[in-house]
Amino acid sequence: MKPTRLSIRQATHKKLLRVDAPYRRRFHSYLISLFCLSCLLLPFYLSFFGFRLFGFPANQCIISSLGALIVFLALRQFHFQKQSIRHYLETNPRT
């Protein structure tokens, strides 16, 4: 049975996490950034439970800005991973 493109990319990602230190560092810094930005969002959702830090428009603006930043970081990380995996697969053809 021929492996699918997704399974090849997943296996390559796991291999790069094991053997490529810069790739691993970038991936872990992305996860840490994502966690920190998610934690920053939490206080601004308190207004939905009756605890207001700022006015409703300010809370929505901050939530939207942080959400857009999370999406931007995710797209940037996806692009980096796609390039790294493609480069690895081109330089190390399967035998």
Q: Which pTM value belongs to this model?
A: 0.82
CB 8 within 8 A of CB 89: yes
Write the CA distances from 26 to 21, 23, 30, integer angstroms. 9, 5, 6
- Residue 4 covered by a domain: no
- Residue 53 covered by a domain: yes
- Residue 45 covered by a domain: yes
Q: Phi/psi zone of residue 94: left (φ > 0), alpha (ψ -120 to 50 degrees), beta? A: beta
Report the mean per-residue pLDDT for the chain: 90
- Residue 34 covered by a domain: yes
Give how far the C-alpha of residue 74 lies from the chain's centroid of Cα atoms, to the nearest Å: 4
- Residue 1 covered by a domain: no
- Residue 5 covered by a domain: no
Give tens-digit pLDDT for 60-91.
898 899 999 999 999 999 999 999 999 999 99
Confidence at 95, pLDDT banded by 50, 70, 90: very low
CB 59 within 8 A of CB 47: yes
Q: Can you give the residue range of the structural domain that contains 36?
A: 15-91
Amino acid 75: pLDDT: 98
The pLDDT of residue 47 is above 80: no
